[in-house]
Structure 1
Amino acid sequence: MNEEVCGLEPILCAPLLRRVDAELIGLLRELRPDEWDLSTVAPAWKVRDVAGHLLDTVLRKLSLVRDHCFVENSTIRSPQGVVDLVNRLNHEGVTVYRRLSPPVLIEIMETACRQSADFHESLDPFAPAVFNVSWAGESASLNWFDTARELTERWHHQQQIRFATNRPGIMTPELYHPVLDCFVRGLPYAFRDVEPPFGTTVQLEIAGNCGGTWLLKRRDSGWGFAGPSETMPVARVVIPQELAWRVFTKGIDRREALAHSSLEGDRNLGERVFHLTAIVG
């Protein structure tokens, strides 16, 4: 486990996209024909649907952000409008790309992933991103956060396929810790309506060699991450790393996640951690 307090530094992970996608291509190539139709933890999606979604999102990002190709104009008036739009686009993409044969999908995926990695590595990480990270409550984001968000998408959907097909995961500190760190950056937004006394701290520990410790502190301006403190946190939550990715991507029932985690101190504050959803839709 990462022993330093996390959440305080930018997540500079663009080169990891290429590595995660290489693992994806290798995984898809070794799937048996029957495994493409296995169910996953994503409701209503089989393995072929998740693979289709991964192809759709990388092509969509290249088209919109790299190539500035906006075919349809969408007016979004609320956070729910973002969810509705993303859900519609995801549904449309899966409907199309699930029809591809595995060899065709894999060949297109390999090309698209290579271009995506090239593009993200070319970006200035501290320049404004085209799209904000909405699940973290940001109205504007920097490229490093958008790229980290992209890594979480590529990693956790691949993990859904691995989980469904009983393949080993890619839970290595180098690849998984940045994913967890990005997920947890949504905690201040998840706590936005919780108003305990100023100075209140909540500690989240994700247990395992890929995990870490995050200290969330209530300040005058709202919740944010803090460095080591001599003050005891009013709530301490410990989630096993094997479970954490499912907790933050709606891949496990909240009550089941709580049953397999540890919570000390103020239960209401601690349980709020499990309300974090680090995906759109």
Structure 2
Amino acid sequence: MAEQEVPIKTVHLFPLLDRKLIELLKSLSADDWNKPTLAKLWTVKDIAAHLLDGNIRVISSSHQFAGDPPSGPVNSYSDLVDFLNGLNAAWVKAMRRVSPQLLTDFLETTGKQYSEIMARANLFAPAPFSVAWAGEEHSINWFHIAREYTEKFHHQQQIREAVGKQGILTAELFYPCIDTFMRGLPHAYRTVMADAGALIEITVTGEAGGNWYLLKTAESWILTKNAGSAPDTIVALSPDIAWKVFTKGINPQTALEASNISGNINLGENLFNMVAVMA
């Protein structure tokens, strides 16, 4: 298939996002590295270490190296989350003995290799990992890679939020992230009852945002970019609220109160319970 047919293009953005990360980390003071973040128990340095872990896992996988397998069976989504949380915690703890300067050097080196691997990927081949938060058991590579992009984006944004240095909530970098997150909405709404034809408009405000439409068919909810008819519910939220609520960076009720819902309120509220990360 032609490259322009990729539904969400992110491959070309990895080097840019990576450069932004390295510039950010090199600008931090010693105190900045220890600041708390929205990622619960993790400091700025812990998130940087987690980003390095992501690079190293992808590079190692390209060497046909399986890594650390689960010690027990993974039979459910919660089992998978527990396994990943254990891997993440062990890595972050070990990296606390590494200096911020060395950590930055590692990220700069591995980030380039990571981006090269993404650039070589067959975007329409089966992905090595499914996008589980979207309810998929099997995914296509472009979606898996877009999910990887959201990981890099939101963790860098967590660091920026912690140290008061913005710079990536732009149309170029933010829109592909939120567009990917929205792909999880049909799965998040799978138990929400509504008549066939019910339509929810989701608007992320500002130049970096856009409009998405969630339509109830006879069988399920589907995501579309076109309204087709007047929506029953309109949900409007800012980019800052959107990335936080979908990554558990803000309480759903707090996000709801900072946003606007018109029309059928009940249909709109469920949006704020979607989580587009493995958590």
Please give the alpha-carbon distance, in whole angstroms, between the structure 1 residues aligned to 2:166 and 2:227. Answer: 37
Please give the alpha-carbon distance, in whole angstroms, between the structure 2 residues aligned to 1:31 and 1:25. Answer: 10
Q: CA deviation at 1:9?
A: 6.5
Please state if 1:18 is matched with 2:15: yes
Q: CA deviation at 1:61?
A: 2.1
Q: Report the 3-state secondary structure (helix = DSSP H, G, I; strand = E; otherwise coil) of the residue aligned with 2:129.
A: coil
Please give the alpha-carbon distance, in whole angstroms, between the structure 2 residues aligned to 1:53 and 1:67. Answer: 20
Q: Report the 3-state secondary structure (helix = DSSP H, G, I; strand = E; otherwise coil) of the residue aligned with 2:33.
A: helix
> Which of 39, 62, 66 matches 1:70?
66
Contact 2:133 2:276 in 1 (8 A): yes
- Mapping of residues 45-64 of structure 1, within 5 Å: 45-64=42-61
Q: Report the 3-state secondary structure (helix = DSSP H, G, I; strand = E; otherwise coil) of the residue aligned with 2:250.
A: coil
- Could you tell me which amino acid in structure 2 is paired with residue 136 of structure 1? A
Q: Tell me the residue number matched to 1:170.
A: 168
Q: CA deviation at 1:68?
A: 2.1
Please state if 1:236 is matched with 2:234: yes
Q: Tell me the residue number matched to 1:37.
A: 34
Identity, in percent, stands at: 39
Q: Tell me the residue number matched to 1:205.
A: 203
- Mapping of residues 131-150 of structure 1, within 5 Å: 131-150=129-148
Aligned length: 273
**CA offset digits 1:107-157 (Å, max 9, x no partner):** 111111000000001001111110000000000111111111111111111
Q: CA deviation at 1:230?
A: 4.1
Please give the alpha-carbon distance, in whole angstroms, between the structure 1 residues aligned to 2:225 and 2:67. Answer: 45
Please state if 1:100 is matched with 2:76: no
Q: In angstroms, what is the RMSD of aligned CA positions?
A: 1.4
- Mapping of residues 116-265 of structure 1, within 5 Å: 116-265=114-263
Contact 2:212 2:226 in 1 (8 A): no
- Could you tell me which amino acid in structure 1 is paired with residue 51 of structure 2? L
Q: CA deviation at 1:242?
A: 2.0
Please give the alpha-carbon distance, in whole angstroms, between the structure 2 residues aligned to 1:105 and 1:96. Answer: 12
Q: CA deviation at 1:83?
A: 0.8
Please give the alpha-carbon distance, in whole angstroms, between the structure 1 residues aligned to 2:217 and 2:120. Answer: 36
Please give the alpha-carbon distance, in whole angstroms, between the structure 2 residues aligned to 1:149 and 1:230. Answer: 28
Q: CA deviation at 1:227?
A: 4.3
Q: Tell me the residue number matched to 1:3.
A: none
Q: Report the 3-state secondary structure (helix = DSSP H, G, I; strand = E; otherwise coil) of the residue aligned with 2:18.
A: helix
Q: Report the 3-state secondary structure (helix = DSSP H, G, I; strand = E; otherwise coil) of the residue aligned with 1:147.
A: helix
> Of the two structures, which has the highest relative contact order with CA contacts closer than 8 Å and spacing of 6 or more?
1
Q: Which runs of 5+ in 2 are unaligned?
A: none
Q: CA deviation at 1:71?
A: 3.5
Greater mean deviation of Cα atoms: 124-133 or 214-223 = 214-223
- Could you tell me which amino acid in structure 2 is paired with residue 25 of structure 1? I
Please give the alpha-carbon distance, in whole angstroms, between the structure 1 residues aligned to 2:225 and 2:150. Answer: 24
**CA offset digits 1:186-237 (Å, max 9, x no partner):** 0001001112111111110000101010001111331111343342222110
Q: Tell me the residue number matched to 1:276.
A: 274
Runs ≥4 residues deviating over 4 A: none
